[in-house]
Chain A
Amino acid sequence: MLKDASTKVTQPEGDGATDSTMLPTPSSVMSGAEIFVRSLEAEGVKYIFGYPGGAVIKVYDEIARLNPSFQHILVKHEQGGTHMAAGYAKVTGKAGTVLVTSGPGATNCVTGIADAFMDSVPIVVFTGQVPTHLIGNDAFQETDIIGITRSITKHSYQVRDVRDLARTIKEAYYIAETGRPGPVVVDLPKDMLAATTSFQYPEQVFIRGYNPNVPVAMKQLELAAEMIKASERPLLYVGGGTLSSRATELLTEFARITRIPVTTSLHGLSSFPETDPLSLGMLGMHGTWYANQAVQHCDLIFSVGARFDDRVTGKLDSWAPHAKVIHIDIDPSCISKNVQVDCPILGDVKEVLQKLTPLVAPKDTAAWLGEIEAWRKECPLEYEKDGLLRAQGVIQKLRAQSGGDAVVVTDVGQHQMWTAQYFQFVRPHSHITSGGLGTMGFCLPAAIGVAFGLREKGIDVPVISVSGDGGFVMNSQEMAIASAHNLPVKIIVVNNQFLGMVRQWQELFHENRYSHTNLAPTNPDFVKLAEAYHVHGVRVETPAELDAALASAWKSADAPVLIECRVQMDEMVFPMVPAGAATGDMITKRYSADDAV
Chain B
Amino acid sequence: MSQATLTPQQIYRKKAAGEPVLADDTLKIRRHIFSVLLENSIGALNRVVNLFYARGFDLESVVVGISDDPSLYRMTLVTTGTARKIEQVLRHLNNLVDTVQVEDLTDQEYVERELCLLKIRYTEKNRSQIMDINDIFRGKVIDITAETLTFELTGPTTKINAFVGMMQPFGIEEMHRSGRVAMRRALVHGS
Contacts and interface: CB of A to CB of B under 8 A. Distances in A.
A2 B13 contact: no
B178 interface: no
Nearest to A208: B100
B95 A331 contact: yes
B97 A155 contact: yes
B170 interface: no
A209 B39 contact: yes
A207 interface: yes
A160 B87 CA distance: 35
Nearest to B44: A209
B9 A321 contact: yes
Interface string A147-189: 1001100111010100000000000000100000000000000
A147 B8 CA distance: 36
Interface string B5-30: 01111111100100000000000000
Interface stretch (A335-343, A468-476, A557-565): A335-343
Nearest to A315: B8
Considering residues B4, B11, B13, B16, which has the most beta carbons from chain A within 10 angstroms of its beta carbon? B13
Contacts of A22: none
A192 to B, nearest CB: 13
A317 B11 contact: yes
A146 interface: yes
Interface string A1-17: 11001111100000000
Nearest to A155: B97
A1 B1 CA distance: 8
B1 A321 contact: no
Interface residues of B, number: 37
A131 interface: no
By secondary structure, the A interface counts as: loop
Interface string B64-108: 000000010000000000001001101110111111111110000
A337 B88 contact: yes
A354 interface: no
Nearest to B1: A2
Contact of A209 (B9, B87, B100): B100
Contact of B9 (A150, A175, A339, A344): A339
A210 interface: yes
A150 B50 contact: yes
A1 B3 CA distance: 13
Contacts of B96: 209
Interface of B: 1, 4, 6-13, 16, 37, 39, 42-43, 46-47, 50, 54, 71, 84, 87-88, 90-92, 94-104
6 contacts: A154-B97, A208-B39, A322-B13, A333-B88, A339-B9, A340-B7
